[in-house]
């Protein structure tokens, strides 16, 4: 099974992924972490993607799709994986369907925007400035939000309305 965490910036996807990982020993693929690692190691990919991360834009689909495909191939003997931050648009969702054929479940973390912005401003990552946060929200609305409909249509989406990560995790547990 593939467990996808879908939600706006600051919704706690990374924290939830770690809670699920600890409880069930399921590996996490985090697209943001993968990209930040490439950036910090100053690899060729890192150099190509840094301007997207530092402006809040999505990195080009070809780059992220192939990074994620490689990770999934490395984890092909696992029964389940958690994915945090991918897919972020419909192209990526289609690419993912091609590399992972088994069951898919999408948890959509729906939190009020004010809570999200407050959290991000207190987190202090390099892309957590007011200007970049605003752009990341726009990109989320335009590119990622349509995936909610996409996954609702295929009947794999579960919406979670809690705010605290612990409450979100409890709801997820009742499903898993």
Residues that bind ligand AMP (CB under 6 A): 9, 31-32, 35, 52-53, 56-59, 64, 85-86, 88, 92, 127, 136
> Which of 94, 41, 97 minimizes the C-alpha distance to 72?
97
Residue position matching structure tokens 């729906």: 110
Q: How far is the CB of 92 from ligand AMP (least distance, A)?
A: 6
Q: Which is nearer to ligand AMP, 39 or 157 (CB)?
A: 39
- Where b means 16+ CB within 10 Å and e means fewer, 88-102 reads bbeebbebbeeebee
> Smallest gap, in angstroms, from Cβ of residue 26 to ligand AMP?
18
Residue nearest to ligand AMP (CB): 32
Nearer to ligand AMP, 59 or 157 (CB): 59
Give the number of other Cβ atoms within 10 Å of residue 166's Cβ: 12
CA-to-CA distance for 49 and 57, rounded, in angstroms?
10
User: Shortest Cβ distance from residue 174 to ligand AMP (Å)?
Assistant: 25
């Amino acid at each position: 099974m593939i467990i996808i965490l879908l939600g706006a910036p600051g919704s706690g996807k990374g924290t939830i992924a770690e809670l699920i990982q600890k409880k069930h020993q399921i590996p996490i693929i985090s697209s943001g972490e993968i990209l930040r690692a490439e950036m910090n190691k100053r690899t060729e990919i890192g150099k190509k993607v840094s301007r997207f991360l530092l402006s809040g834009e999505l990195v080009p689909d070809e780059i992220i799709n192939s990074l994620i495909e490689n990770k999934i191939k490395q984890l092909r003997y696992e029964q389940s994986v958690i994915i945090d931050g991918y897919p972020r648009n419909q192209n990526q969702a289609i690419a993912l369907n091609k590399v992972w054929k088994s069951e898919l479940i999408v948890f959509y973390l729906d939190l009020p925007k004010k809570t999200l912005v407050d959290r991000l401003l207190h987190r202090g990552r390099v892309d957590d400035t007011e200007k970049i946060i605003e752009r990341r929200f726009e990109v989320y609305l335009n590119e990622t939000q349509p995936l909610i409909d996409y996954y609702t249509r295929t009947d794999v989406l579960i919406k979670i309305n809690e705010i605290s990560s612990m409450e979100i995790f409890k709801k997820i547990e009742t499903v898993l």
